[in-house]
Structure 1
Amino acid sequence: MSSRSSTSGVQADDNRRARHAVRGGILGNFVDQFDIFLPVIALAPAASTLLGAENVIATAGLVFTATLIGRPLGAAIFGPVADRVGRTATTRVALAGIAATTLLIAAVPGHEVLGWGTVALILTLRFLGGVFLGGEYTSAVPLAMEWSAPRRRGLASGLIMAMSPVANASIAALVLVLLAVLDPASYAAWGWRVPFVVGGLLALVMLGYYRRQVADAPASHQAPAPASPLRDVLVGPDRRVFVQTFILMTGLWLLTYMAIPTLTAELTRAEVFDGRGVTLALLCATAVSAVAMALCGHLSTLVGRRRFFIGFGLLAAVLAPLTFLAIFAVDSPVAVVALCAALQVVTVSVYGPVGAYLSERFAGGVRSSGYGLGYSLSIIGPALYPYYLPPLQEAFGTYGPVAVLLAIAGLLVALGGYRGPETDTRAPLR
């Protein structure tokens, strides 16, 4: 065989592996996001029966908090493992853990059997699930970015990030179908388990895919890992990069919590639609935001990631508050749906380039650790909004504080982008 044929064969094999890794990153993030949103959407109609009627809102909040705490811990545990042992092997372990914890939740006895034992089991499993969820995106997304061709890295990132609204919409659609064919008692007794079984099986399918089809990127794409990737990221030579990405991601998460759960709560409280109407309106909005995320990912390759985040952040600081306020100032249901979609576009579509940008900011030896910590630790402050937003609303009105927080979030995105250099979108990751 000639050297040219041999080179062509190696190139073809690398191209195939790259497609598999990127496809795994996209589908794996769908599974990851599917399991993240499960308790928020699937358990809501059954919460009082499953978790107990007493203090049901506080208990449901604890279920969410358990996952929230687990995710950054998972990033801290699995990030260094992925940097030192390999991203593919780490992804497999994380997917196995996601599958096991999700399927076990589907088998938890009801509150009438174990009482608060049911709550304790769900909290424990959601915490462990959060640990594995944090490990999955910490390893799988940087792996996909390492395999991506530079000119397609932004688009691949956009497609990966778009799986969040797609997963959200998929669960909502599944729950709507179940609620349509089951009476409330049947859904509360066993119907809520169906989405969890689906989520667990999806994780098993992806585990099989990673075992058969995905491999780590060539050694030439990765720098050697230091003795302690976690220390290097938090207090070592990469600490400035971590602080900069932390600021950026804090802004992104704050945009998310104001534009999705807060908007949902305010639409429900204002009785703009009934419960199903709110769900359908947000389904339309998330579909638009999924397309916008993919487009924003590619746009960042064309204009530069730093320029994209600065520009988007400044636009969001102006347009997001105005759009949010306009939603509650119009009477037409069609206009409300259109404005909800517009709010998604000017807020959460900024996630498009995140997978590529965080992977570009951290060198290969600490890439998973940096990606996981920057992405996960930054969620904590914004996610605590149920504790600081209500007092602000009580003091200054229902909608004004949300608008102010949206403006602050946009400015944080712009500041985070400004503090970082322009990354090289034309070179392979090293």
Structure 2
Amino acid sequence: MEAVSVDDVSEAARKGSLETRRKSAIKGAVFSEFVDMFDIYLPVIILAPIQTYFLPRSVSGGYQVILESLVFITTLLGRPLGALVFGRIADRVGRRAASIASVSGFAVATFLIALIPGYETIGIASYWILVLLRFIDGVFLGGGYTGALPLAIEYSRKDQRGLVGGLILAGFPAAYVAINLLAMIMFAVFPMNGPDSPYAQWGWRIPFLLGSVMATLLAVYYVRNVSESQVWQGKTSGKPQNTSEDRLVTGQARRNLLQVLLMMTGFWLTQNIVGLFLPTGVLLKRLHLTPLQMTATLMMAYSVLCFGYVGAGILGQRFGRRKMLSIIGALTSTAGAGLLYFLIGAADVAQSSIVLVVCALALVVSSAWAVIVTYINERFSTGIRATGFGIGYSLSVIIPSFYAFYMNWLGTFMPSQYTPVALLCIGGVIACIGALLGPETKDVDL
């Protein structure tokens, strides 16, 4: 029998330990994405039927719409700030520390939202407390990207980084489906008939409490199970001479950031058309689907996306992320635009056909995001990776957020109902150009 040396045993133990840390980091990132997106959709879905609970009953319809939208917008505005603050923490102190701090922060903020009294109790302060807490929530949510995701990518083997990116992003559609199912249960259990109904008084608080509990469990998971990134520990002292954001805006890093921002501006624009405008502007208004039909259609599309993201991540690993992103941008401007054009012009179409077209449109336009997570992390060196990823991912959402204004402007040159098709084409072209301006990254060493 061949003798086994002590060195062989030690090497096997070391590899086993590394594999355990790798799996823990990846599981943490997937769960982090799920909890993050669950929290993002809470006000959009759970609070939508009872926004008047926080507002005076005499508020006008138009003014009410503006105030309701501000609750969601402030969350988005907080994300770039969170990416900058926690990106610096992740690059200087560690990815694990940034993850724990950010997750703990939005666990507390979400819990406090569940405790807010209504307008009848504290007046308009109820609404402004909600807006403030959602902004704080957005800051911590933006910080979540800068720790958990780079940590998981840095722990991944080079030949599996594409798959890992796809698995992480699958948490996004999974969260959308989960919160819609939860909302249906809440709506069925608690009657909704005005600001004095059981749902308005306390039923809506349960999903927020659940979101806080999940975030708390995630923070505990990182404390107990996830180790700091060995890539970060090995290539930076944690105390660089310049701050990460200083080095991000100089030299090659600045060019990398500008390329990522250009590409992401295009992808955010296309995603806003499909994710925000399509449900209300096409499915509800033009195709006259009922809210229940629209929800069922979108849940089917997001369920398909769970698998689509994993597949797109694998394809990006095999054929190249730059190639994959540029092809998706081009397909969005052609096939995606054609599918949206069909939906806008459709009349008396069976809902089954609408579901198939919406699923196809979601796959064409949204599959890029499974590749984006890995790609952006590969575009920046270790000392600025978290900040570069956070800013490149979150700051680029600002310009595309005004898509409604762009459609209004385009309406002076073309039929207004087809302006979202034009924007989808423009966004796809911008994304394609942005991807082509960058290098291939699938074989880079982190």
**Fold agreement, TM-score > 0.5:** yes
Which residue matches 1:163?
171
Matches within 5 A, 1:359-374: 359-374=377-392
Which residue matches 2:356?
338
Which residue matches 1:285?
301
Q: State how far apart, in whole Å, the 2-side matches of 1:156 and 1:198 are.
A: 27
Q: CA deviation at 1:222?
A: 5.0
The 1:335/1:33 distance shift into structure 2, 3 A limit, reads: same
The 1:386/1:50 distance shift into structure 2, 3 A limit, reads: farther
Contact residue 155 and residue 231 of structure 2 kept, 8 A: no
The residue type equivalent to 2:71 in the other structure is V
Q: CA deviation at 1:170?
A: 1.2
Contact residue 222 and residue 364 of structure 1 kept, 8 A: no
Which residue matches 1:303?
319
Which residue matches 1:177?
185
CA-to-partner distance for each residue in 1:308-339, whole Å, 9 max, x for gaps? 11111111110111111212315111111111
Contact residue 96 and residue 229 of structure 2 kept, 8 A: no
Which residue matches 2:229?
217
Matches within 5 A, 1:346-357: 346-357=364-375
Contact residue 378 and residue 444 of structure 2 kept, 8 A: no
Which residue matches 1:242?
257
Which residue matches 1:87?
95
Which residue matches 1:260?
275
Contact residue 268 and residue 396 of structure 2 kept, 8 A: yes
Which residue matches 2:6?
2
The 1:427/1:232 distance shift into structure 2, 3 A limit, reads: closer
Which residue matches 1:18?
22
Matches within 5 A, 1:264-275: 264-266=279-281, 267-275=283-291
Task: Identify unmatched segments of 5+ residues in structure 1.
Answer: none
Contact residue 34 and residue 199 of structure 1 kept, 8 A: yes
The residue type equivalent to 1:320 in the other structure is G
Q: State how far apart, in whole Å, the 2-side matches of 1:41 and 1:234 are.
A: 38
Q: CA deviation at 1:393?
A: 4.4
**Equivalent residue in structure 1 for 2:121, among 99, 113, 121:** 113
Tell me whether 1:198 sits opposite 2:210 in the alignment.
Answer: yes
Q: State how far apart, in whole Å, the 2-side matches of 1:139 and 1:36 are.
A: 18
SS in 2 for 1:270: coil
CA-to-partner distance for each residue in 1:36-62, whole Å, 9 max, x for gaps? 111111111111233344222111111
Structure 1 stretches of at least 4 aligned residues deviating more than 6 Å after TM superposition: none
Q: CA deviation at 1:427?
A: 5.3
The 1:23/1:196 distance shift into structure 2, 3 A limit, reads: same
Q: CA deviation at 1:386?
A: 3.4
Q: CA deviation at 1:149?
A: 1.1
Which residue matches 2:328?
312
Matches within 5 A, 1:84-163: 84-163=92-171
Over aligned residues, Cα RMSD in angstroms?
A: 1.6
Task: Identify unmatched segments of 5+ residues in structure 2.
Answer: none
The residue type equivalent to 2:430 in the other structure is L
Q: State how far apart, in whole Å, the 1-side matches of 2:343 and 2:233 are.
A: 47
CA-to-partner distance for each residue in 1:200-239, whole Å, 9 max, x for gaps? 1110010110000001121577532642110211345410
State the number of aligned residues. 428
Which residue matches 2:220?
208
Q: CA deviation at 1:173?
A: 1.4
Q: State how far apart, in whole Å, the 2-side matches of 1:205 and 1:220 are.
A: 25
Q: State how far apart, in whole Å, the 2-side matches of 1:186 and 1:113 are.
A: 16
Contact residue 325 and residue 399 of structure 1 kept, 8 A: no
Contact residue 221 and residue 428 of structure 1 kept, 8 A: no
The 1:22/1:393 distance shift into structure 2, 3 A limit, reads: same
Percent of aligned pairs sharing the same letter: 35
Which residue matches 1:47?
51
The farther-off stretch of 68-77 and 260-269 is 260-269
Q: CA deviation at 1:428?
A: 4.5
Q: CA deviation at 1:193?
A: 1.4
TM-score normalised per structure 1: 0.96
**Equivalent residue in structure 2 for 1:377, among 358, 373, 395:** 395
**Equivalent residue in structure 2 for 1:34, among 13, 33, 38:** 38
TM-score normalised per structure 2: 0.92
**Equivalent residue in structure 2 for 1:229, among 233, 244, 250:** 244
Q: State how far apart, in whole Å, the 1-side matches of 2:251 and 2:386 are.
A: 16
The residue type equivalent to 2:113 in the other structure is I
Q: State how far apart, in whole Å, the 2-side matches of 1:49 and 1:422 are.
A: 51
Matches within 5 A, 1:407-418: 407-418=425-436
